[in-house]
Amino acid sequence: FLIGVPFSLLSIALLQKTLHLPVVRRKVRIDWLGALLITSGVSTLLIWSSLAGNKFDWASGWTALLVGGGLALLALAVFVEARTEEPIIPLGIFRNRTVSLTTVASILVGVAMFGGTVFLSQYFQTSLGKSPTVAGLMSLPMVLGLLVSSTVAGQLITKYGRWKMFLVAGAAVMTAGMLLLSTIDATTSVPVLSVYMAVLGVGVGMLLQNLVLAAQNDVPAAELGAATSVLTFFRSMGGAVGVSALGAVLANRVTSLTVERLGPIAAGGGSTEVPDLSALPEPVLRIVQDVYGIATSEMFLIGAPFALLALIVVLFIKEKPLNTLSGDERRAREEAAAAAGMH
C-alpha cells in the first residue's frame, strides 16, 4: 500500500497542473437518505452472497432474511429517489435506452472481469507454484492488453467518431478470452497463459471506458455526472458480486474435488486460503495443483456466459454521432435552446 502513495501524489499533482475547470457555486441538497438506503441495500446483498454456501445454506432462513432485507432497502431507495429534489441516482436517467443498456453491460463486464481475474493470482501460486511477487507480475499481459486496446480504440473513436463497433468487438474478444482461460490447467505454460490473458485484456479495454462514453454521448449535459457515476457504481457492484459468487463456486469446487481425490479430512473444511505448498508431500502437491487448475478453469467457463450476455446487450445499443462539444459547451447550448423555446 505504501508503494501506491507516490503514484497517488503524482496523480494529484498532474490533475492540479493540467485539469482546469470553471468553478460553479450553487446551492445543493445532498441526498443523504438515498445514499444510506442504496449503500445499505447493496451491502446487505453482498454480505449474503459472500456468506451463503459457506456460513449457511443458500436455501435457509438467513438467505430469506438478508435477500428480503436487501431488496426491501433498495425498494425504499427507489421510493426516496423518485421524490427527492437532487437524488444520488436520478431514476429518469434509466428512461434513456443507451444508459439502461450500458448499465446492464457494465454489470456483466464487472462480473466477468473482476470475478474471473481476481482468482488468477491464487491459481498462479497454487497450480503453477509461483511466488506472490511473480504471481503479481504475471497479470501484466492482461494489464498491457487493456492499456493498449483502450488507448488505440480511444484514438480511433476520436478520429472517426464511430464507437459501437469497438463495444461489439470488445465484448466478442472478452468472451473469447474467458473461453480460452476456461481451458487452462496445472500444466498450462506461461506463454500460452499470457496470450489468453492479453486477449481478455484487449476485450475489456475496448469495453470499459467506451460504455461510459456511449452513455455520456446520449444524455443532457446536466446528467453527465450522474450517468458516469451510475455506470461506475454498477460496474463495481457487478465486480463485487462476481468476486463473491465465483469465489464461493471456486471454494466449493476445490473442496469437492479434494474430497474426491484425497478423502474428507484433506479438504480442510472448505477453506479458501492458499495452502502451504512447501509442507505438502509430492503426490499430494500434484493433486492440489491439479484441483486448483480445474476449479479455476471451470470458474472462467461460468464467467463466459456473462461476457456473451454483455455482447448481446451492446448489440442493442443504438449508435449516435459522437458529440464534439465539452460538457460546459453542451450545457450552454441546451440552456440557450430551452430559453429560446420559452420565448
150, 209 Cβ separation under 8 angstroms: yes
194, 141 Cβ separation under 8 angstroms: yes
Please state, in angstroms and rounded to a whole number, the distance separating the CA atoms of residues 219 and 323: 10
pTM for this structure? 0.82
pLDDT digits (tens, 9 = 90+) for 36-57: 999 999 899 888 887 877 788 8
292, 280 Cβ separation under 8 angstroms: no
Please state, in angstroms and rounded to a whole number, the distance separating the CA atoms of residues 26 and 266: 63
Would you state the pLDDT for residue 65?
A: 94
pLDDT digits (tens, 9 = 90+) for 114-153: 766 788 888 898 888 888 888 888 889 999 999 999 999 9
246, 116 Cβ separation under 8 angstroms: yes
Would you state the pLDDT for residue 264?
A: 64
Sorting pLDDT into bands at 50, 70 and 90, what band is 288? confident
Q: Is 127 helix (H, G, I), strand (E, B) or coil?
A: coil
Would you state the pLDDT for residue 148?
A: 94
| Total number of residues shown for the chain | 343
Joined together, the cell numbers standing for residue 312 give 448481446
CB within 8 Å of 194: residues ≥ 6 apart: 138, 141
Instruction: Transcribe 16-60 into DSSP letters.
Output: HHH-------------HHHHHHHHHHHHHHHHHHHHBTTTB-SSS
Please state, in angstroms and rounded to a whole number, the distance separating the CA atoms of residues 261 and 264: 9
292, 186 Cβ separation under 8 angstroms: yes
